[in-house]
Amino acid sequence: MEQEDIETINPGKILIVDMDGTVRSPRSDNKFIQHPGDQKVIQGAEGAIAYFADEGWKIVAVTNQAGVAAGKKSLSSCVKEQQQTMILLPEIEEVYFCPDFAGKKCYCVTPTEVKDYSKHELSGTFRKPNPGMLLLVMEIHNADKVMFVGDRPEDKQAAQSAKIKFQQADNWRRTYGDF
């Protein structure tokens, strides 16, 4: 996984979704997803994502994955976990994740590749509640309209620091999940 040059594109609108507790949860009774297949889509998330995709929004996800730093999962397993989520929710085009407590590392996963942004100038700010992953997505995609959906206070804090609109996950799923 090598450092990639950032190529900017302009899709217009980007919906950034948090993963755990916002669009997915463990199939098991565990607090966190234990392996790539131990996940299910939270009711309403699929419909809400489809609504925004149908309205022309690019869908990107961000997630802290400290289980890697804590030794509970490998980096490879974490990548496969994100790719499995993209199989379950194919409108999600990319997943950015921070696998360390210091917020220095950030990887972008697509269904076919992994890019390492750990040497980017935002290194050290990737772990939410810091806004680094959100700012990186905004830099790469140069969108004129951005919204972040999350379920935790650190998600809201990251959105406020990035100066983007935030919507609470349960309200988002309830509002858009039935379309």
Predicted confidence (pLDDT) per residue in 6-58, tens digit = 444 445 899 999 999 999 999 998 888 989 999 999 999 999 999 999 999 99
Q: Are 146 and 18 spatial neighbours (Cβ–Cβ below 8 Å)?
A: no
Q: Residues 97-113: what's their mean pLDDT?
A: 97
In a domain, 116, yes or no: yes
Q: Give the C-alpha separation, 169 to 48, whole Å.
A: 10
Under the banding of pLDDT at 50, 70 and 90, the label for residue 168 is very high
Between CA 19 and CA 63 the distance in angstroms is 6
Q: What is the pLDDT of residue 15?
A: 98
Distance CA 43, CA 49 (A): 11
Q: What is the CATH number of the domain that holds 50?
A: 3.40.50.1000
**Predicted structure pTM score:** 0.92
Is residue 73 within 8 Å of 32, Cβ to Cβ? no
3-state secondary structure of 83: helix
pLDDT digits (tens, 9 = 90+) for 47-70: 999 999 999 999 999 999 988 999
Q: What does the block give as tokens for 160?
A: 């406020």
CA angle (134 as vertex; 86, 117 as ends), nearest 5 = 75
Does any domain span residue 38? yes
In a domain? residue 70:
yes
Selection from 23, 97, 33, 82 nearest residue 53 by Cα: 23
> Is 56 a domain residue?
yes
Q: What distance in Å separates the CA atoms of residue 11 and residue 151, rounded to the nearest whole number?
A: 25
Range of the domain at 44: 12-127
How many domains does the chain divide into?
Answer: 1
